[in-house]
Amino acid sequence: MKHFIDIADFSAGDILRMLELGLKLKIEQKKGEFRPLLKNQVLAMVFQKPSLRTRVSFDMAMRTLGGDALYLSPQEIGLGKRESIADVSRVLSGYVQAVMARVFEHEHILELAKWSSVPVINGLSDYNHPCQAMADALTIFEEFGPLNGRTVSYIGDGNNVAVSLMKVVTKLGADFRIANPEGYDMPEKSVEQCRELAKLSGGSVTLMREPEAAAEGADVIYTDTWTSMGQEEEAKNREKVFPPYQVNQRIVKLAKPTVIILHCLPAHRGQEITDEVADGPHSRLFPQAENRMHAQKAILVELLLGGDPDGK
C-alpha cells in the first residue's frame, strides 16, 4: 500500500516521474483534453483545519480525471474525538478508493495510514506539507527546468511548508537556504535527513539568520505566514519577532534578476510579503497555487494506478 505522507519516502526518480506527469496532464488540460484515468474512483477529504487550495485543488483534480471527491469538515468526523482514528480509517477504507487528510498532529496522519487499506495522502500536518512541496517543485521546474544547482531560499518560520520544501529541493539536487529568527528553527532531525539527501543529490542545506544573506544570488525566494494554523495564541509575539524577515523589494533586489517569488498562500500582505512583491513581475504565486491541482493529479495517479498511465 502506497501512501503520500512525506517527500522523503519517495526517490528522486519517483518525484521526477510525478512532476513530469503533472506537467503533461496540465498541458493536456490547457488544450481541453481530459482523460478519465480515475473514473469510478472517489477521494474522501478529511479536514481538521480550514483550507481553500487543498480542498478545491484535490476536488478538481479528481473531477478532471473522471472521479469524484467528498468533503468531510472538522465538525462531521471529529477525528479521534467522536470516533478513534483507527475506526475512522477502517470505515473510510470500505467506502472510498483514497483518503486525503489535513490534521494538527503528524501522528494522526500516520495513524490513519496505519489502519487504512486505501492510499492516504497528507494534506498538511503540523510537521509537513508534502503536496505543497510537489506544486512548488513543479513551479520551479516549469520556470528553470531541472532543479540541480539552483538556489532556493526560504525566509521566515521553520514550519511545515519549509520542511517539505527543504526535502523536495535537496532530493532534486538544489541548494536550500533558510533564514529564520532564533527560536523558530527547522526540526533538527529533518535538517540532518536533508543533509544526507543532499550528499546523494549534489544539493546542500544552509541555515542562516540574515534574510539578506539568504536572498543574495537566489533563483527562488519563498516565504509563508509567520503564524501557522493552530498557533493563533502566539500571533502577537510572532508579529514582534518576524518583521525583519519580510520579503519586500529590498530583499528581491539582492537575488538574481531572474528570481521567482513563491508563497504557499494564504498570504498576509504587509506582513511576510508586500503587495509590491506578491503582485510584481517576479511573483509566481498564482501559477504555483494552480499547480497544486496538476501536481496532485500526478500524486493520485501514482497512488491509484501505480505510475504514469502511458508507461513512462
Catalytic positions, written as ranges: 102, 129, 132, 224, 264, 292
User: What minimum distance in Å lies between the beta carbon of 245 and ligand NVA?
Assistant: 14
Residue 21 to residue 17: CA distance in whole angstroms: 6
Residue 160 interacting with ligand CP (CB under 6 A): no
The C-alpha cell at 209 is 539568520
Whether 148 and 174 have beta carbons less than 8 Å apart is answered as: yes
Closest CA to 130 of 303, 277, 258, 312: 303
User: What minimum distance in Å lies between the beta carbon of 78 and ligand NVA?
Assistant: 21
Residue 201 vs 228, nearer CB to ligand CP: 228
- What would the x/- binding string for ligand CP be over residues 245 to 274, using CB under 6 A? -------------------xxx--------
Using CB under 6 A, count the residues that bind ligand CP: 9
Residue 97 vs 180, nearer CB to ligand NVA: 180
The C-alpha cell at 236 is 502577537
Q: Interface residues for ligand NVA in 239-268 (CB under 6 A)?
A: 264
User: What minimum distance in Å lies between the beta carbon of 227 and ligand NVA?
Assistant: 8
Residue 159 interacting with ligand NVA (CB under 6 A): yes
Residue 175 vs 224, nearer CB to ligand NVA: 224
Contact range with ligand CP by CB under 6 A, out of 47-55, 149-157, 173-181, 230-238: 47-55
Residue 221 to residue 177: CA distance in whole angstroms: 10
User: What minimum distance in Å lies between the beta carbon of 241 and ligand CP?
Assistant: 23
- Please state the length of the chain: 312
Q: Which does 52 bind (CB under 5 to 8 A by kind): ligand NVA, ligand CP, none?
A: ligand CP
Residue 47 to residue 121: CA distance in whole angstroms: 12
Residue 177 interacting with ligand CP (CB under 6 A): no
Residue 224 interacting with ligand NVA (CB under 6 A): yes
User: What minimum distance in Å lies between the beta carbon of 296 and ligand NVA?
Assistant: 14
Residue 228 interacting with ligand CP (CB under 6 A): no
Residue 66 vs 74, nearer CB to ligand NVA: 74
The C-alpha cell at 237 is 509575539
Q: Both ends of the chain: CA-CA distance in Å? A: 21
User: What minimum distance in Å lies between the beta carbon of 228 and ligand NVA?
Assistant: 3
Q: Give residue 182's Cα distance to chain centre.
A: 24
Residue 53 interacting with ligand CP (CB under 6 A): yes
Residue 53 vs 108, nearer CB to ligand CP: 53
Strands 42-47 and 68-72: parallel
**Residues in touch with ligand CP (CB under 6 A):** 51-54, 124, 132, 264-266
**Residues in touch with ligand NVA (CB under 6 A):** 124, 159-161, 224-225, 228-229, 264
